[in-house]
Amino acid sequence: MPIEHELLAVNDITLSLYSAGPPLGRPVWLLHGFPECWHSWRQQIGALAEAGYRVLIPEMRGYGQSSAPPEPEAYELLTLCADIQEAMDALGQDEVCVIGHDWGAPVAWHLGLLEPERVKVLGALSVPFGGRPKRPAIDIMREANRDRFNYILYFQEPGVAERELDADIPRSLRLLLLGGSGDVFLQAKPADARLLDGMPEPHGYPEWCSAEDFAVYLRTFERGFRGPLNWYRNFTRNWQRTESLAERKIEQPSLFLLGDQDPVGKLEAYTVKRMAELVPNLEQHVLADCGHWIQNQCAEQMNSLLLDFLARHYPAAL
């Protein structure tokens, strides 16, 4: 499947964008998370393009060839949404589907809130929609993790996690991405531990990520981890800036997929259970024997569910 690449000037940054499929096909945006890249969607690109969709996969702000401003505040949620909104504008798109995984999921959910006319359907993997909390989630995390390590709290102080992860980028990425089903982030250890302490050293490459695939991920992080880590440093800003969205529901047909071995499912069990109250047109599936890297660990099953969902709510041919 031929894949095109372009650099778009949007929202005061350069956004690197990969695309495939018929130029006049209905747009499907695929938004990656951490520590991933556009190539995380490699097993969905062909399936969607062959079904007649125009597939658009950005390298999100801070990743790969996209701009990576050093300031944490440059990565607050509505700014990340605006990157995609302006890219849609630049491409003349007035009807789209948006699908996000991990950090890409909150961007997808909020694009659905911000753009109810343009975003006709949306999908999210791993991270559910819980609405705006009564106070910033980072405050709740600090209270719940006073005496134990929490990777999100560890990421808060600029420079701390960068020093650890940038010291050996290939090893850091191997441990984070290939060391399990995403559960390596949640190991029990003392509050003063570092992120990589105690993580098992992976041997070889798993079936879902070859050496060639991993090389693409690695190129994404050649500049280091600062940009991607800055996404985690805006919980308070995100909470403050989304006050106007607090009471809104996501009315579009929405697909949520979760692996049964994804640690996010345990952390967000309550949110997953009550999500249908906030997303009334929701379709949910739990994929068996699947971890956090759902697009690749369970690609065939995911593609089948996604194409079926799109055929019913966002057919390729109008």
DSSP 49-69: HHTT-EEEEEE-TTSTTS---
Angle between helices 104-114 and 77-90 (to 10 degrees): 70
- Asked if residue 318 is part of any domain, the answer here is no
What percentage of the chain exceeds 90 in pLDDT?
Answer: 90
Rounded alpha-carbon distances, angstroms, from residue 114 to 12, 222, 244, 282: 20, 33, 10, 18
- Asked if residue 50 is part of any domain, the answer here is yes
Q: How many secondary structure helices (H) and strands (E) does the chain include?
A: 14, 8
Q: Which of 12, 117, 79 is nearest to 241 (CA)?
A: 79
Q: For the chain, state the CA radius of gyration.
A: 18
Q: How many domains, the chain? A: 1
Kindly tell me if the per-residue pLDDT of 318 is higher than 70: no
Q: 248-288, pLDDT tens digit by residue? A: 999 999 999 999 999 998 888 889 999 999 999 999 999 99
Q: Kindly tell me the burial class for residue 305, based on how many C-beta atoms sit within 10 Å of its own C-beta (0-12, 13-18, 19 or more).
A: middle
Q: 197-235, pLDDT tens digit by residue? A: 999 899 899 999 999 999 999 999 999 999 999 999 999
The values of phi and psi at residue 229, to 5°, are -70, -30
Mean pLDDT of 21-33: 97
Q: Given the structure tokens 């570092």, which residue do they identify?
A: 194
Q: Are strands 54-59 and 13-20 parallel, antiparallel or unpaired?
A: antiparallel
CATH code (residue 97): 3.40.50.1820
10: which DSSP letter? E
Q: In terms of residues, how long is the chain? A: 318
- Asked if residue 217 is part of any domain, the answer here is yes
- Residue of 32, 101, 102, 110 marked active site: 102
- Asked if residue 66 is part of any domain, the answer here is yes
Residue partners of 59: CB distance under 8 A and separation at least 6: 15, 16, 17, 18, 32, 37, 38, 65, 66, 220
- Asked if residue 307 is part of any domain, the answer here is yes
9: which DSSP letter? E
Say what the pLDDT of residue 129 is. Answer: 97
Q: Which of 115, 62, 47 is nearest to 299 (CA)?
A: 47
Q: Given the structure tokens 């605006």, which residue do they identify?
A: 82
What percentage of the chain exceeds 70 in pLDDT?
Answer: 99
Q: 45-104, pLDDT tens digit by residue? A: 999 999 999 999 999 999 999 999 999 999 999 999 999 999 999 999 999 999 999 999
Poorest-confidence range of 108-122, 151-165, 178-192?
178-192
Active site residue 292: yes
pTM (global) more than 0.95: yes
Domain that holds residue 306: 4-313
